[in-house]
Structure 1
Amino acid sequence: MREEKIYDVIIVGGGPAGLTAAIYTGRSKLSTLVIEKEGMGSLYMAHQIDNYPGFPEGISGPELNKLMKKHAMRFGAEFKDAVLFGFDPYEEIKTVKTDKGNFKCKNIIVATGTGKNFGKKLKGEKEFLGMGVSYCATCDGAFTKNRTVSLVGQGEELAQEALFLTKFSKKIQVFVTSQEFNCSEQSLEALKNSDKVEIITGAKLLEIRGSDFVEELSLEIDNEIKTYPTDFVFLYLGTKNNGEMYGEFANLDAQGNIVTGTDLKLNVDGMYAAGDIRSGVLKQVGTAVGDGTIAALEVIKRNLRK
């Protein structure tokens, strides 16, 4: 069995802050993984940038993004197009959870762009949060004893969470948001061999319904609207707002931006924030690049102390 890679640093976000940090950490010979959503972000959407040094004729956002990414790749940075689900940051070896799997590292730089304290939710998601809606089966699985539960999403994290629930739940409905379940063969085989688990592919969750607690889900499956009774629903869709994503280990302002000191550290050792996600910063490419530089240098210093 191949040993799981442990990166020196994982950078979440492929904008100017994240890419600058990747250039610095890669050049310092730290193994670096950048988790991004390709084609997303304020830089990528900028039609023309005329105030970034070195480009007297201006440059488009996508072109600058492409050049920064190429620069980071020159120094060995790896990239993964994935949806962020969350973190386990408290141990020395930390985990970043995504729809493409869980990734291990020693340091994390959060560079996900402008905060969202009121991110887009599915119909019923906000209303039933804590009343049957959860983002973590391993956190809340004990409450599902002898109940029917549903999981919605994609990837290895979804599969592992569903397998964990087999210890508690009576019936487990796994709704996969594409036609293929992108998880390991071992996880998929284990799910198929469980008489508690039903896997439904090509599912789009439309609404979560209930009275005081979650009672049913409305989904579109193969162009047909269907209703499934359920007592709990665990969501792996990237719909967490910043309070839900970072609030456990970072201080946030009212807009959902992360509050840091000048060293850009969060409340967990080895975790940093950079760029537009930080509270009180100017939303400029130049300031994001500065933040990426500082966060990377903090990671480099921390690595030298180990």
Structure 2
Amino acid sequence: MEAIYDLVVVGGGPAGLTSAIYTSRSNLSVLVIEKPNIGSIHMAHQIDNYPGFPEGITGKNLQKQMKNQAKRFGTEFLDATFLGVDIYDSPKIVKTDKINVKAKSIIIATGWAKNGEEKLKGEAEFLGKGVSYCATCDGAFTRNKTVSLFGQGEEIAEEALFLTKYSEKIYIFVTGEKLNCNENILKTLENDDKVEIIFNSKIVELKGKDVLETAEVEIDGEKQEFSVQYAFLYLGTKNSTELLGEFATLDEDGLIVTDDAMKTNFEGIYAAGDVVSKKARQVTTAVSDGTLAGMEVIKYLLTKQ
């Protein structure tokens, strides 16, 4: 049976780990989705203002201790890139480049991903003109057209399967030696004449005049150009407004607006840490947010039993 977690935490910094400690210690099933060795705490050479460490501590060591504490209470961890949330399913679906995860509740603790993040060459230029992040949203526009999908995991496989209802030709460019997804979906795609799965591929540039016309792709180290009219990207290149704005109200800086209990405007979704719209961003404030969010999740799930 496919796992349904009581809580999925997106982000393995102080806020996310604190919420994981509180909730897993309360016998909830908790999964933390993280990208190891990144984030502001990991890069902090010395932290002198976190209580309990009179001689100071490196950010890396503090994070390691928090993670080990969460593991002691049963928290699970997944190394993956967060791609978004499907809020309309019940339970909710947290999408990553590895797998899609079902969750009764979600805490977003990704840190402050500023809007100036680097995109692929041509991505911003052709957004809405052939570039999309959601095949189920824009699939109807691809009728009788050649499309491409870039990424890895359940999300890209499911989206490609959806496109078979519309598109004339479908290229799936996989960032690895195999497509990690449901075997039945993979077999269906492999047996569809309009679908071509290309492994060990990396998108280099999206090109065109007024709309998308071609995609330059590096395959096994060799660059090739493909004629495509749509490119669906599942690579984690959305900026904070594009990513978080799908399921939360944001302020002008692309930060999540919550109430005092860290609730967003969507039921069962909370935010904590630097990703929240607030005045101070410190390890201590992140831990405070994580505590509040974790306690609210516990109460929320108890009322849903």
Q: Same fold (TM over 0.5)?
A: yes
TM-score when scaled to structure 2? 0.97
- Which of residues 97, 100, 103 is equivalent to 1:99? 97
What residue number does 1:284 align with? 282
Instruction: Give yes or no for contact 2:216–2:224 (8 Å, CA) kept in 1.
Output: yes
- Which of residues 65, 75, 78 is equivalent to 1:77? 75
- Which of residues 202, 205, 222 is equivalent to 1:204? 202
TM-score when scaled to structure 1? 0.97
State the 1:92 CA deviation: 4.0
Distance 2:134 2:198 in 1: 20
What residue number does 2:243 align with? 245
What residue number does 1:173 align with? 171
What residue number does 2:157 align with? 159
- Matches for 1:252-263 after TM superposition, within 5 Å: 252-263=250-261
Distance 2:278 2:271 in 1: 13
Instruction: Give yes or no for contact 1:276–1:288 (8 Å, CA) kept in 2.
Output: yes
Distance 1:195 1:249 in 2: 36
Instruction: Give yes or no for contact 1:275–1:281 (8 Å, CA) kept in 2.
Output: no
State the 1:256 CA deviation: 1.3
Structure 2: gaps of 5 or more residues: none
Distance 1:301 1:103 in 2: 22
Asked if residue 128 in structure 1 is aligned to residue 130 in structure 2, the reply is no
What residue number does 1:298 align with? 296
Distance 1:79 1:279 in 2: 26
SS in 2 for 1:47: coil
Asked if residue 137 in structure 1 is aligned to residue 135 in structure 2, the reply is yes
State the 1:212 CA deviation: 1.4
Distance 1:92 1:100 in 2: 21
What residue number does 2:263 align with? 265
- Which of residues 233, 236, 242 is equivalent to 2:234? 236
Amino acid aligned to 2:236: G
What residue number does 2:225 align with? 227
What residue number does 2:187 align with? 189
State the 1:47 CA deviation: 1.1
Amino acid aligned to 1:189: K
Task: Give deviations 1:163-190, integer Å, cap 9, x for gaps.
Answer: 1111110000011112232223322222
State the 1:242 CA deviation: 1.4
Task: Give deviations 1:53-76, integer Å, cap 9, x for gaps.
Answer: 111111111111111001001111
Distance 2:201 2:98 in 1: 18
Task: Give deviations 1:184-243, integer Å, cap 9, x for gaps.
Answer: 332222211110111111111111111111100011112211110001000000001111
Instruction: Give yes or no for contact 2:134–2:232 (8 Å, CA) kept in 1.
Output: yes
State the 1:110 CA deviation: 0.2
Q: Aligned residues: percent identity?
A: 61
C-alpha RMSD of the superposition = 1.1
- Which of residues 44, 50, 63 is equivalent to 1:46? 44
Distance 1:268 1:5 in 2: 22
CA distance 1:106–1:36, shift in 2 (3 Å): same
What residue number does 1:12 align with? 10
State the 1:91 CA deviation: 4.2
Task: Give deviations 1:96-149, integer Å, cap 9, x for gaps.
Answer: 001111100111000000132222110110111111100011111111111000
- Matches for 1:62-73 after TM superposition, within 5 Å: 62-73=60-71
Distance 2:173 2:238 in 1: 18
What residue number does 1:147 align with? 145
Distance 2:218 2:121 in 1: 14
